[in-house]
Amino acid sequence: MHKVVGIFFIALLTLTNCNKTNESVEVLARVGNSVLTKDVVINRFPEYRVADVENQVTQWVNAELLYVAGVRAGFNKDATLVNQIKDYQKKLIGQTYLEMALRSRVGVSTEEIKDFYTVQKEMFRRRHGEALINNFNVDNKKDANKIRALLEKGAGNKKRNELFEKYGVNTISVEEDRLHPTINKAVFGGSKSSYVGPIKSGDKYAVVEIIKRFPKGTYRSLDDVYDHIYLVIQKRKAAIQSAVIIDSLKQEILFELNVGGL
């Protein structure tokens, strides 16, 4: 939710029909008494990206209009809503404190990651064959043949490099039996060729460059699973340390708990 709101505010920076209330304050959006200035947005989000401004502005305006209408209807005084807002505020403040307190307690060292990989290595055994591939899909066989010819020239060829940008192709990892049957057989069927196609696939022609094959039963390398292990260890530490922090707060802050009669 915070990310979406952030992107929206960032997008407002690019509005071209901005109004200025004075020489130093530039208003980017206004609904009733709600005003957002450029300076506020820049201070909150110094690194911004331009993204779908009109759509985001429309969403913001709609939300503000509904909010104003809700206030006029008295929903801002509704006891249930007020309590929900208070509960959310408490949770947000508490969660922010917990995240701050955890920062120095959930560090993960390289040695911890290596040890986890060694002890839990079976977790990283491949249950299916896998391959790293570059997959091109084009409308006609002539273009597909040209692509294969350029791919076979190998890395460092300028025209070959331009192919990846033109068709938006990035290297991906695929599992056996997840590809078109004909392509799957060519990639995983025992052939040593690094190139497959052109192969008709629906209304397209596919050309596949196989960078590397990984047979079933082999292990993913530490480099491949490093980030995953990091997050697993960090999550475990966070769970343990969260309990420690709560226990510590119970010693510092007076509280009472009476649930025996429920």
What does the alpha-carbon distance between residue 21 and residue 29 come to, in Å, rounded to a whole number? Answer: 12
Which residues, listed in sequence order, are joined to residue 201 by a DSSP beta bridge? Answer: 204
Q: Which CATH number fits domain 126-214: 3.90.1170.50, 3.10.50.40, 3.30.930.10, 3.90.1150.10?
A: 3.10.50.40
CA 182 vs CA 5, 29, 148, 179, 197: distances in Å: 45, 55, 17, 8, 10
Distance, C-alpha 33 to centroid of its chain? 35
Residue-wise pLDDT tens digits, 125-179: 999 999 999 999 999 999 999 999 999 887 777 888 888 888 889 999 999 998 8
Q: Residues 6 or more apart from 134 whose CB is under 8 A from it?
A: 151, 164, 169, 170, 171, 172, 208, 209, 211
Domain boundaries, given as residue ranges, for the chain: 2-76, 78-124+221-251, 126-214
pTM higher than the cut 0.85:
no
Q: pLDDT per position in the chain (262 positions), as tens?
A: 444 444 444 444 444 344 444 556 777 778 888 877 766 666 665 555 555 456 666 777 888 899 999 999 999 999 999 999 999 999 999 999 999 999 989 999 999 999 999 999 999 999 999 999 999 999 999 999 999 999 988 777 788 888 888 888 999 999 999 888 889 998 998 888 899 989 988 889 999 999 999 999 999 999 999 999 999 999 999 999 999 999 999 999 998 888 776 6
Note whether 178 and 231 are within 8 A (CB). Answer: no
Block residue for tokens 């040593």:
192
What stretches of the chain show up as alpha helix (H) in DSSP?
2-11, 38-44, 53-72, 79-102, 110-119, 141-151, 158-167, 181-188, 222-252
